[in-house]
Chain A
Amino acid sequence: MLPDNRPRVWWVPAACAALAAALVTASALVLTRAQAQEPAEVAQSDTGAGSAPAGAPGAQPIAFSHARHVVRAGIDCQFCHAYARRGPVAGIPSVERCAGCHRTILSERPEIERVLGYWERQEPIPWVRVHDLPDYVRFSHKAHVRAGVDCSTCHGDVASMSIARQAESLSMGWCVDCHAEREASRDCVICHY
């Protein structure tokens, strides 16, 4: 069945790929570590919204402050992240949700005007992702909300953050520690399939 022009040295392409993969992985690792430290530094200068220089990595299109919404306005997390109890994804509020309040509240502020600009143009706001799990991890907000895990357990004290940043490592060891503590399942297939 096999054709005669099969590669004689079958392992060579595989070895090429393996070596290349090793190089790429190593460099990617270095890069990831560097990036992981970055937001922490930015977050130290927690002086108010919009302090991150525009164009810097992690800069959001709107200088949104969780602190103002949660602490000052007293809005519940799930008012905006409305899917957290219903599905795997917590959801970023729709532009309609932002505009719903801000059409009347503080609509004169320049940053709010930018939000309303998105609404008027019917454009989505291209938020920058802060919490990103690898694609081979299946995480469900719903299961954690149902189990009574507080948002801040994984997301840190977002309520006091002017600029959202990743507070926890979100590494597998970190997940598993919590699962062990709460006697939740530690089967691999809970998250990996």
Chain B
Amino acid sequence: MKESSPPGELAGLTETVGRRTFLRVLGGAGSAAAVSACAPAPPERIIPYVVPPDDVVPGVATWYASVCGECPSGCGTLVKTREGRAIKIEGNPAHPVNRGSLCVRGQAALQGLYSPDRYRGPRRRRITHTATGRSVLDPIDWERGQRTLADRLADLRATARGDRIAIVTPVLTGTLDALVDRWAAAMGGARRLRYEAFAYEPQRAANRAVFGRDGLPQHDFGRADLVVSFGADFLETWLSTVGHARDLADARRPGNGRSARFVHLEPRLSLTASSADEWIALEPGAEGAVAAAMVRTIVAEGRVQGDMLAGSEIEQIRGLVEAWSPEAAAVRSGVPAARIAELARAFSDPDLGPGRTLAVGGGTAAGGAGATETEVAVALLNCVAGNVGATVRFPAATMWDSAATYQDMIDLADAMRGGEIDVLLLHQVNPVHTLPGAADFGAALDAVPLVVATAPHPDETTARADLILPAHTPLESWGDHRALDGPGGLMQPAMRPLYDTRHFGDILLDTGRAVLAAAPDEAATASDAAPALPDGDFYALLRDAWRGLQPAAVDPAVEGADTGATTGDPAPTTNDAAPSDPAPTTNDAAPSDPAPTTNDAAPSDPAPQVDAAARRRAAAAARRAAAAARQAAAAAFEAFWADAVRQGGRWVEEPAEPVTLGERIAAVDLRALAPSADDRRTPTLIAYPSLHFYDGRGANRPWLQEIPDPLLKTAWGNGAEMAAETAAAIGAEDGQVATLESDHGRIEATVVLNPHLPPGVVAMAIGQGHADYGRYATGRGANPMALLDPAPDAASGGPRWAGTRIDVTPRALRRPLARLQGTFDQQGRELAQAVSQAALAAGEVHPEEPHFSLYPEHEHPKHSWGMAIDLDVCTGCNACVAACYAENNVPVLGADRMVRGRTMSWLRIERFVEERPAAEGGTVDTRFLPMLCQHCDHAPCESVCPVYATYHTEEGLNAQIYNRCVGTRYCSNNCPYKVRRFNWWDPEVPEPLNLQLNPDVTVRSAGVMEKCTFCVQRIQEGKDRARDDDRPVEDGDVVPACAQTCPAQAIVFGDLKDPASRVSQLSAADRGYHALGVLNTRPAVTYLKKVIR
């Protein structure tokens, strides 16, 4: 089983073993053992460094601050490296976006770096069979690869056909973004697109219409006392999810003195909806009607808050929403009119004051017909509640201002098909997978003579590329992530490149310079100010850009650098025009002329009358002063740079710009929110963004595949989700394969029953169904993009994720998905408990009765480690689970084993759904219960282990000693929490994924039991640090991986012996209880009940 079989294959055990086979195997094994006993084991070698690196102490981690590259949010990271290899990523506590936390995708970024399918160097496609189009990728060297590209570019540029070049990148910021722009301009006006599958086109179009502003505002969830989300999955993929989760948790964490409410409207129970105090299920596409009706109610009842709107503007808004009375919206949405009016009143509560609520719209609500109008209604709602400028703030510019729309991509594809594009450079985008299949980007690629891809991993787009120049992954790259006119996160490579890859910036610089060198003159005549590309590499460019971000010079030494900079500095970095200039235009300020300027040191020479000798002396003095100032400035910059690199960036509060109602609002017609009159050929498809895979880019990370979806608890695939009645109507059962067919495409998917969907709706997660994305992603699930209507939303140019009519035909075939939780019903066991806010306020809590125990009490002389998990703020986002996989070398099993019910996860998030009585608003109450080893004081597992492999330590841990374990599995049988995992197989870790393994944690072999250790290696490390400082262990010294990454800070760990520790206080809180407390296992994990608001 250890040979080359892919993970999940279970070849050996699927046969019935006969007696003869048994004897044969036994004989073979015996003789193998005998033979191996004859040869002495080769001596183990110790290979020392030739020259030891300064910042490496073997066995001690080195951390590098950087920026996460998994989505456009730009969370700050701290990358833990051991002996030069990145082994764990954590959030950077100093970074304002994520404040120390990371999401599940950020945790799994390591597996992008160590993907066994990565390109190991540049490749060129060679057609081996013209008729069938079969081809192979030949390795080439970088010089030839870049020359192939540069030659073609030079040819086009020399003949003034630069517009036949196109470059598509993700939404980038900072230095790299500016460089791409300069490169595109230098190539003679190449087309440039910043493509993201989730580009929020309807919201941007709505902001243009309502505020006359492009881009997206910042949403302050921490300030709002009532959040109303119209489909926006802001805890999953919608903008800066980690920051949102932290803000929302802080605004409602019991004990913080605040209790923000959160209402979510969406037809499907999404993860974000699950965290809402109230999930209002409504008709698909009716979110905008409800928002408009809320605006109408607020205006009609004279409850407009704040002073943003003038009287005439209020009248204008009144006219816009006139058609949407609560009654009309009730008909459209199915939400009672009284409920809508009540929500509107709560949203404009004068007692709260203006700017204390927040409405957000997005997700599938902004993916169907009327998407832009929905966003317009949401924007108006924020206007009338006085939220604009408060919880909704527009900075001067955002990275979304210039993001391409789906329409732009369609236009590009048309141009490609029309033969208008000769060279297409694709940087880490996968439009073949992420665009609707009917847009047929793949065929458009085939029409381009030279397609160059710089993706580090093979995907559906690189499969059609002619030349692959693999760029570094973000963990190997320099870069920055910042607002257009300010500092921000600084991305630093955490390790040397694993393979023969290059920085994308360097690929651009090298090819660009080669092109410019090929025909320098013609270009200069073609456009009078052809922006040349700078000398040096991308790193030098980045440093130059950050020179301009240095805080305004306070010491005169830096001030003097301005004059010094013009004197032909021999330093290797290029002279930049304004090293101490606080002006934001850093990249453009870099010199366009790389030649050193003449040495005119003293332009402000003040003394024309003095004699020549004095003049020389003065000039020499001025030169010396300038040199000294230059040195001081260089030193000041080095200090600033070192500090910024160490901190992971520099951040300033971005000032919000005042916005007013734009003029184009007059053109808005909210009647588009009415249901379309097309035939009700059911069902309707809703393709929703995936928490784990984003737009699909995460699908080749085995952790993201293996960790079950937080809602359906499915793994290694997606399904066609539908309510039982929908399935019954088409005659399908759970686990049955069905054919989904629309006018635009056809896929096969497994039917997954989901009770929290409206009838007639089929929901599918985006991101699976890869045709060519490495061993972990290819062939998993299905891609709903194949079914979508390719026509963009007319108003915004965005894709239409929702609303495509499909036919579903069940097939006589079962292919059930791996499902890790059998029921979402607690069956009366009260595992995940809740308490109403009123009862909590009134002190009506029911503390657990102390149980009598026959066992002697444990003594914990020094520490008693414990954990408190707040179910009220846990959003079930799986970040902790991924962190646990990364920290503890938890094996990945693969789909086949998981379908058989196996999992190795030490920490799982159980989900329970309680139906809520109609009197409390109907719908459901979802509870997430992170379940890990409870480290019981009276642990049932300990007493049954025949070899003392599991025992209670004097610090309160339930220890599991792998080298003692003989694998009886009695402990697992006796564990009421089912948190122990048995290794039926040796872990399969294909190279180079093994480089990620945490060297501080044993990689368990087959035959032993394992489970959560409370990250005992981190406890040891924390104690070690304290002892180094000659002080006792303090609260916060030990933070397990799960608690460290939790975006909502729901998990708190510490010493229960210390009465002042946070965990002691939380464990003693009114809401505290123990899971299955009736068993008297005395767990060290205390759960805090969810609060029903």
| Interface residues in chain A, defined as those with a beta carbon under 8 Å from any beta carbon in chain B | 1-3, 5-9, 12-13, 15-17, 19-21, 23-24, 26-28, 30-31, 35, 57-58, 83, 86-89, 91-97, 118-119, 122-129, 132, 134-136, 138, 140, 142-143, 146, 185, 187-190, 192-193
Complexed CA–CA distance, A3 and B29 (Å): 29
Complexed CA–CA distance, A127 and B44 (Å): 9
Looking at the complex, which one of B12, B33, B57, B816 makes contact with A20 (CB distance below 8 Å)? B33
B30-49 with Cβ < 8 A to chain A: 30, 32-34, 36-37, 40-41, 43-49
Could you jot down 29 A-B contacts, CB within 8 Å?
A3-B900, A5-B14, A8-B16, A16-B22, A20-B32, A21-B1007, A23-B34, A26-B33, A27-B37, A30-B37, A31-B37, A35-B40, A87-B58, A88-B58, A91-B58, A94-B50, A95-B49, A96-B52, A124-B47, A124-B49, A126-B46, A127-B45, A127-B47, A128-B46, A129-B43, A142-B1024, A189-B953, A192-B962, A193-B1001
- If A1-B899, A9-B16, A12-B22 touch, does A96 touch B50 (CB 8 Å cutoff)? yes
Complexed CA–CA distance, A124 and B957 (Å): 42
**How distant is B54 from chain A, measured CB to nearest CB, in Å?**
12
Q: A97-B52, A128-B45, A136-B1002 provided; 20 other pairs, C-beta below 8 A?
A: A1-B901, A7-B14, A12-B17, A13-B13, A16-B22, A19-B30, A27-B34, A27-B37, A31-B37, A83-B59, A87-B57, A87-B58, A94-B51, A94-B52, A95-B49, A123-B50, A124-B50, A126-B45, A143-B1027, A146-B1027
Contact B43 A128 (CB under 8 A): yes
Q: Which residues of B contact A8 (CB under 8 A)?
A: 16
Q: Which residues of A contact B1016 (CB under 8 A)?
A: 189, 193
Complexed CA–CA distance, A11 and B1028 (Å): 51
- If A135-B1002, A138-B1000 touch, does A24 touch B36 (CB 8 Å cutoff)? yes
Contact B959 A7 (CB under 8 A): no
Which of B26, B40, B46, B955 has the largest number of chain A CB atoms within 10 A?
B46
Complexed CA–CA distance, A125 and B49 (Å): 9
Contact A20 B15 (CB under 8 A): no
Instruction: Check: B970 CB closer than 8 A to any chain A CB.
Output: no
Contact A7 B1002 (CB under 8 A): no
Contact A13 B50 (CB under 8 A): no
Shortest Cβ distance from B896 into A: residue = A3
Contact A83 B58 (CB under 8 A): yes
Shortest Cβ distance from B1004 into A: residue = A136
Complexed CA–CA distance, A93 and B40 (Å): 28
Shortest Cβ distance from B23 into A: residue = A16
Q: Which residues of A contact B60 (CB under 8 A)?
A: 86-88
Contact B16 A57 (CB under 8 A): no
Which of A6, A142, A188 has the largest number of chain B CB atoms within 10 A?
A188
Contact B59 A89 (CB under 8 A): yes
Looking at the complex, which one of A2, A13, A95 makes contact with B900 (CB distance below 8 Å)? A2
**How distant is A7 from chain B, measured CB to nearest CB, in Å?**
5
Shortest Cβ distance from A59 into B: residue = B43
Complexed CA–CA distance, A127 and B1017 (Å): 29
**How distant is B1025 from chain A, measured CB to nearest CB, in Å?**
11
Instruction: Check: B961 CB closer than 8 A to any chain A CB.
Output: yes
Counted as pairs of residues, one from A and one from B, with CB atoms less than 8 Å apart, the total is: 164
Shortest Cβ distance from A185 into B: residue = B954
Looking at the complex, which one of B32, B34, B57, B953 makes contact with A83 (CB distance below 8 Å)? B57
Contact A134 B963 (CB under 8 A): yes
B1011-1034 with Cβ < 8 A to chain A: 1013, 1016-1017, 1020, 1024, 1027-1028
Contact B17 A27 (CB under 8 A): no
Complexed CA–CA distance, A135 and B33 (Å): 21
Complexed CA–CA distance, A119 and B47 (Å): 14
Instruction: Check: B813 CB closer than 8 A to any chain A CB.
Output: no
Looking at the complex, which one of A3, A126, A136 makes contact with B963 (CB distance below 8 Å)? A136
Contact A129 B46 (CB under 8 A): yes
Contact B45 A89 (CB under 8 A): no
Shortest Cβ distance from B50 into A: residue = A95
Contact A189 B45 (CB under 8 A): no
Shortest Cβ distance from B15 into A: residue = A7
**How distant is B52 from chain A, measured CB to nearest CB, in Å?**
5
Shortest Cβ distance from B1003 into A: residue = A135
Contact A7 B29 (CB under 8 A): no
Instruction: Check: B25 CB closer than 8 A to any chain A CB.
Output: yes
Q: Which residues of A contact B1013 (CB under 8 A)?
A: 189, 193
Looking at the complex, which one of B29, B36, B43, B957 makes contact with A58 (CB distance below 8 Å)? B43
B166-221 with Cβ < 8 A to chain A: none
**How distant is A139 from chain B, measured CB to nearest CB, in Å?**
10
Instruction: Check: B951 CB closer than 8 A to any chain A CB.
Output: yes
Complexed CA–CA distance, A15 and B1024 (Å): 43
- If A16-B25, A19-B29, A88-B60 touch, does A9 touch B17 (CB 8 Å cutoff)? yes
Contact B15 A28 (CB under 8 A): no
Looking at the complex, which one of B33, B901, B962, B1002 makes contact with A27 (CB distance below 8 Å)? B33
**How distant is A86 from chain B, measured CB to nearest CB, in Å?**
5
For the complex of A and B, the 7 pairs showing the least CB-CB separation, nearest first, are: A20-B29, A27-B37, A88-B59, A23-B33, A92-B48, A87-B59, A12-B17
Instruction: Check: B964 CB closer than 8 A to any chain A CB.
Output: yes
- If A1-B899, A136-B962, A193-B1013 touch, does A19 touch B45 (CB 8 Å cutoff)? no
Contact B12 A13 (CB under 8 A): yes
Q: Which residues of A contact B900 (CB under 8 A)?
A: 1-3
Shortest Cβ distance from A98 into B: residue = B48
Complexed CA–CA distance, A14 and B48 (Å): 41
Shortest Cβ distance from B43 into A: residue = A128
Shortest Cβ distance from A141 into B: residue = B59
**How distant is B516 from chain A, measured CB to nearest CB, in Å?**
38
- If A136-B962, A187-B955 touch, does A127 touch B46 (CB 8 Å cutoff)? yes
Contact B49 A16 (CB under 8 A): no
Contact A193 B1002 (CB under 8 A): yes
Complexed CA–CA distance, A115 and B51 (Å): 14
Contact B57 A86 (CB under 8 A): yes
Shortest Cβ distance from B40 into A: residue = A57
Looking at the complex, which one of A1, A58, A123 makes contact with B816 (CB distance below 8 Å)? A1
Complexed CA–CA distance, A102 and B13 (Å): 60
Q: Which residues of B contact A16 (CB under 8 A)?
A: 17, 22, 25-26, 29
Q: Which residues of A contact B48 (CB under 8 A)?
A: 91-95, 124-125, 127
Q: Which residues of B contact A126 (CB under 8 A)?
A: 45-47
Q: Which residues of A contact B46 (CB under 8 A)?
A: 92, 126-129
Looking at the complex, which one of A83, A127, A189 makes contact with B959 (CB distance below 8 Å)? A189
**How distant is B108 from chain A, measured CB to nearest CB, in Å?**
24
